[in-house]
Amino acid sequence: MPDPSSSPPPVWRLALPVPLPRLFDYRPPDGETAVAGDVGSRVRVPFGSRELIGVVAEVGAPEGGTELRSALARLDPEPLFQGELLESLHWLARYTHAPLGEVLATALPAPLRRGEPLPDTHAWAWQLTEAGKTARERLRAGKPRRLADRLHDGPCDEDRLDDELDDWRSAARALAKRGLAERIAVPALTLAPRAQPGPALNAEQQVAVDAIHAARDGFAALLLDGVTGSGKTEVYLHAIADCLARGKQALVLVPEIGLTPQTLARFRARLGVPVHALHSGLSDGERARTWTAFARGEARVVVGTRSAVFLPLPEAGLIVVDEEHDGSFKQLDGIRYHARDFALVRGKALGVPVLLGSATPSLESLRNALTGRYTHLRLQQRAGQAQPPSVRICDVRKRPLEAGLSPELFDAVARALDADGQVLVFKNRRGYAPVLLCHDCGWSAQCQRCDAPMTVHGGGRRLQCHHCGARRPVPDACPDCGGLALQPQGAGTERIEEVLAARFPDVPVLRIDRGTTQRRDALEQHLAAFGTQRGILVGTQMLAKGHDLPNLTLVAVVGVDEGLFSADFRAPEKLAQLLIQVAGRAGRAQRAGEVLLQTHHPGHPLLATLIAGGYHAFADSELEQREMAGFPPFAHMAMLRAEAQQVDACDAFLRSARDALRDTGAPLDVHGPLPAPMPRRAGFQRMQLLLSGADRRSLHAALDAALPAIYAAPEARRVRWSLDVDPVDL
C-alpha cells in the first residue's frame, strides 16, 4: 500500500470527442476528488481554446508531467454510461479502431452529447377539462367533437392519438383554446393501449416461437429465415410479448425505410405497452427523452433504426434485427459500425437472445446459420392464404423499347389493370434519365466536381449530380460542337412515369422515389391516397419493402442488367436480395401475384439460379464463389480511405500506411493504393488501400500495431483519412 500522503491525488482519464486515439488526463475541479465511481460520468473541460464534453474512462494516478489542467465541471450526479453499455462501447472502439471519445459521442443523442442534463421522461396525454366534460355533447360534429368523444373515457396519450385519429393535434388546440381540453404530463408507463390478439400461429411460426422461448435465458443468435410474407413479424411480436411478460425490455432494429407508421401501429396495437420509435425524423429532444426513458428502465420496447442500437438496456430481454441483410445498418461515415453486428455483441454481453430476421439473409449470417453458430429457423410458406408469386423472364433483346419498357411489359400491365389489379414498375434509378448525350459529337454532361455523369431531371430540363448535389440547367446547345442534338439516354423513374401515364391515361400513376417522397410519412400518405384502386406505382427501392399492398398483382422489374456486371464482389448479393424483396411485394393477400423480369441477359447464371432455386440456391453458389476467391465471410477486410485536393497526397499517405502495415509482419494481403470506385467526388481526389486476411485476429493485431505510426505520419496531415473495418462498399 503506497503512503497516500506521498502519492499525488488521482486524476480523471477522459475520452474526448477528438480524432486522437488516446485518453486525456484532467484534474477534477478544485475542491473535488476523482473516485472510481466517476467512470462513465460526463465532465466539461477546456481543450485548447474550446470547451469539450468528455466521459471519465478511467481514474488513476497522473502520468508524466504535473501540469494538468482542471476540469470545469462534473455534469452527472450518477454515471451516464454504466455496466454493459459502457463495456460494449469499449469493445466497439477497439473493433473499429476509433477513439473511445468519438464512439461514446456517437452513442449519445445530441443534447446529451452537448452536456445537457437528462431530460424529463414524462409522456404527454390529453384529457377533457370539467368544462369540456359538460360541453362535449353540445359540440358540432367534426374533428374537435371526435377528439372529445375519444377523451370521454379518460386521458389518452399522444402516441395513441397519433395511431387512432387523423389531425387530432389541430382539434386538440381548438379544444384547448376554448378551455375544454388540456395537455397533461403522465408517467411514461401508465397509459398502455389494450393488447389486441393476432392470428393463430401456423406450425412453422410455432416452431420458431418455441425455439426463441427455449433460448430466452441467455445469449443465443437465431436467424429467422423466412420468405417474404411468411409471418416473421408475427414471430417477433410473440417473442417480444413473452419478453415483456417477464418484465424485460426489447429492442427492435429495422432498416431506414422500414420504420413506417404502419409498422409502428402494428407493434402498438399488439403489445399493450407504449412502443417508442427512434429514427432520424425525430427532434433531438425526443431522442434524448427516449434514451433516458430506457436508461431509467421506464420504457419497455423501442422500434428504431441503426442508432437505436446504442440505447441503454438495463433490463434487456430480447434484441430483434428485422431485415438483417439491409445495407442501412452499416454507418458509412464517422464511426463506421454495423448495427446488426453490434447488436450481437450487446446481446452476448447482456446475456439475451438476438433474433435476426430476413427473407434474404446476408451471406455472413447465412453461413453462421449453416455452420451451426446460429440457430436456423425457417419459414418456407407464406402465412395465411397468400401464395408465392410466379416469376417470368422477359427477354428484351432486339425488342422495340420505349423508356426501356418492352411491348410484353405494356401488355402485362394492361392485363393486370383489366383485372382490377395494381402494378408496380420497379427501376432503381431516380430522375428522368441517367445521362444527357450529344447525338452529333458524343459529348455527355459530366459533373464538374465528380467523376460521374449528371442525371437529367425535371422532365429533361435540369441536370443534377447524385453524388455531390450540384445542379445546373440543361444547356440549349452542345457545349462541345454547338449542335442541337442533346438527348437524354436511358430512363429513370420520372421518364417511366411519363411514358406509362401516356399509355394508360385512365388510371392513376404514382411515382415513389426520393424526389417525390422526402419526408418519412410522405410515402405512407401517398400510398394511403393511392389506396387499393387499379393503378400503377413506379418506384425505386423505397418501394421494395415495408408496405402491404394487398391489391398488387404484377411487379415488373426493369434495369436489372446494370447490376449484373458490377466490379463490387457484393453486387450479386445485393441484386439478388433486391429482386427477391421486390418480387415479394406481389400477391401478398388473396390475389395471386406475378413478377416480370426484363433483361438483355436471360441466360445469366444469377437470374437462372435465382428463378430456378430461389434465394438459397443463389446463396449456396455465391458462398462457394466467395470461398474460392477468398472474400468475406471467408476472409476479413478493412479499408483505409484517403481524400485530398491532390491525388499525390492520397497516394503518399496510403503508401506510408502500407509500409507501416507491412512492417508488422502480419499475414495480410494489402491491395493498393488504388483509386476509389469514384476517383473524384465533390472536388476531392479519393484513393483506398484494402486489407484482407484469413484471420480476424491477425488483421486487428496488425491494425493495432500500425495505427500509431499511421496517425503520426507527416503524410497524414495532408489528407482526410478514415479506416473502415468490414467495409460494405468497396
Residue 394 annotated as binding site: no
- Cβ–Cβ < 8 Å for 451, 458: no
Backbone angles phi, psi at 337, to 5 degrees: -100, 160
Among 35, 36, 61, 481, binds Zn ion (CB under 5 A): 481
- Could you give the 3-state DSSP secondary structure of residue 60? strand
Binding flag, residue 337, Zn ion (CB under 5 A): no
Q: Side chain identity at 205, as an amino acid letter?
A: Q
393 binds, among Zn ion, ligand ADP, none (CB under 5 to 8 A by kind): none
Q: Nearest approach, Cβ of 462 to Zn ion (angstroms)?
A: 14
Among 229, 274, 453, 492, binds ligand ADP (CB under 6 A): 229
Find the part of the chain contacting Zn ion (CB under 5 A) among 47-55, 133-141, 474-482, 702-710.
Answer: 474-482
Among 128, 235, 436, 447, binds Zn ion (CB under 5 A): 447
Q: Nearest approach, Cβ of 230 to ligand ADP (angstroms)?
A: 4
Binding flag, residue 449, Zn ion (CB under 5 A): yes
What secondary structure letter does DSSP report for 632?
Answer: T
- Cβ–Cβ < 8 Å for 638, 668: no
- Cβ–Cβ < 8 Å for 83, 314: yes
Q: Nearest approach, Cβ of 530 to Zn ion (angstroms)?
A: 33
C-alpha cell at 192: 398502455
Find the part of the chain contacting ligand ADP (CB under 6 A) among 231-239, 366-374, 594-602, 697-705.
Answer: 231-239
Among 46, 199, 218, 483, binds Zn ion (CB under 5 A): 483
Which positions from 541 to 560 touch ligand ADP by CB under 6 A, shown as an x/- string? Answer: -------x------------
234 binds, among ligand ADP, Zn ion, none (CB under 5 to 8 A by kind): ligand ADP
154: left (phi over 0), alpha (psi -120 to 50) or beta: left
How many CA atoms are closer than 13 Å to the CA of 446, on its beta-carbon side? 13
Q: Nearest approach, Cβ of 224 to ligand ADP (angstroms)?
A: 9
User: Per CB under 6 A, which of residues 432..491 are in contact with ligand ADP?
Assistant: none
Binding flag, residue 468, Zn ion (CB under 5 A): yes
Among 88, 96, 228, 493, binds ligand ADP (CB under 6 A): 228
Residue 156 annotated as binding site: no
Write the burial class of residue 529 (CB in 10 Å: 0-12 exposed, 13-18 middle, 19+ buried).
Answer: exposed
CB-based contacts of 347: which residues, under 8 Å, 6+ apart?
219, 221, 319, 353, 354
Q: Nearest approach, Cβ of 576 to ligand ADP (angstroms)?
A: 17
User: Per CB under 5 A, which of residues 504..523 are in contact with Zn ion?
Assistant: none
C-alpha cell at 252: 427492435
Q: Nearest approach, Cβ of 471 to Zn ion (angstroms)?
A: 10
Could you give the angle at the alpha carbon of 230 between the alpha carbons of 226 and 235, nearest 5°?
80
Looking up cell 427492435 gives 252
Binding flag, residue 232, ligand ADP (CB under 6 A): yes
User: Per CB under 6 A, which of residues 170..199 are in contact with ligand ADP?
Assistant: 199
What's the alpha-carbon Rg for the chain, to the nearest Å? 28
Q: Where is 238: in which H helix or E strand?
A: helix 232-245
Among 121, 230, 360, 428, binds ligand ADP (CB under 6 A): 230
Q: Nearest approach, Cβ of 324 to Zn ion (angstroms)?
A: 32
The 636-644 sheet, strands edge to edge: 669-681, 684-693, 636-644, 720-725
419 binds, among ligand ADP, Zn ion, none (CB under 5 to 8 A by kind): none
- Cβ–Cβ < 8 Å for 290, 284: no
Q: Nearest approach, Cβ of 472 to Zn ion (angstroms)?
A: 11
Residue 450 annotated as binding site: yes
Residue 650 annotated as binding site: no
Q: State how far the alpha carbon of 449 is from the alpha carbons of 411, 425, 528, 649, 729, in Å.
A: 43, 33, 40, 18, 21
447 binds, among Zn ion, ligand ADP, none (CB under 5 to 8 A by kind): Zn ion
Q: Nearest approach, Cβ of 589 to ligand ADP (angstroms)?
A: 7
480 binds, among ligand ADP, Zn ion, none (CB under 5 to 8 A by kind): Zn ion
| Among candidate residues 473, 480, 442, 477, the one with its CA nearest the CA of residue 459 | 473
Residue 481 annotated as binding site: yes
Q: Nearest approach, Cβ of 227 to ligand ADP (angstroms)?
A: 7
User: Per CB under 5 A, which of residues 399..438 are in contact with Zn ion?
Assistant: 438
Which positions from 381 to 420 touch ligand ADP by CB under 6 A, shown as an x/- string? Answer: --xx------------------------------------
722 binds, among ligand ADP, Zn ion, none (CB under 5 to 8 A by kind): none
CB-based contacts of 115: which residues, under 8 Å, 6+ apart?
42, 44, 53, 75
**Distance between CA atoms of residues 119 and 556, nearest Å:** 49
Count helices and strands in the chain by DSSP H and E runs = 21, 30
- Cβ–Cβ < 8 Å for 517, 511: no
Binding flag, residue 202, ligand ADP (CB under 6 A): yes
Residue 438 annotated as binding site: yes
226 binds, among Zn ion, ligand ADP, none (CB under 5 to 8 A by kind): ligand ADP
Q: Nearest approach, Cβ of 387 to ligand ADP (angstroms)?
A: 12
Query: Which lies closer to Zn ion via its Cβ, residue 478 or residue 536?
Result: 478
- Cβ–Cβ < 8 Å for 712, 622: no
Q: Nearest approach, Cβ of 680 to Zn ion (angstroms)?
A: 9
In sequence order, what DSSP letters do the residues of 175-197 get, joined into one string? HHHTTSEEEEEE-TTT-PPPPPP
Q: Give the other-Cβ count within 10 Å of 624's Cβ.
A: 10
Dihedral sign for Cα atoms in the order 696, 701, 703, 704: positive
| Among candidate residues 236, 166, 167, 155, the one with its CA nearest the CA of residue 193 | 155
Q: Nearest approach, Cβ of 342 to ligand ADP (angstroms)?
A: 23
Binding flag, residue 234, ligand ADP (CB under 6 A): yes
Among 467, 601, 604, 671, binds Zn ion (CB under 5 A): 467
- Cβ–Cβ < 8 Å for 71, 41: no
Binding flag, residue 577, ligand ADP (CB under 6 A): no
Binding flag, residue 231, ligand ADP (CB under 6 A): yes
- Cβ–Cβ < 8 Å for 292, 118: yes
**Distance between CA atoms of residues 425 and 533, nearest Å:** 16
Among 205, 260, 381, 581, binds ligand ADP (CB under 6 A): 205
Among 63, 137, 217, 480, binds Zn ion (CB under 5 A): 480
**Alpha helical stretches, state H, 68-195:** 83-96, 100-106, 110-113, 130-135, 143-151, 158-164, 168-177
Binding flag, residue 201, ligand ADP (CB under 6 A): yes
Looking up cell 410479448 gives 241
Query: Which lies closer to ligand ADP via its Cβ, residue 434 or residue 614?
Result: 614
Q: Directed axis angle between helix 143-151 and helix 168-177, to 10°?
A: 80
Residues lying near Zn ion in the complex (CB under 5 A) are found at 438, 440-441, 443, 447, 449-450, 465, 467-468, 470, 478, 480-481, 483
Q: Which residue ranges make up the site for ligand ADP (CB under 6 A)?
A: 199-202, 205, 226, 228-234, 383-384, 548
State the binding site for Zn(2+): 438, 441, 447, 450, 465, 468, 478, 481
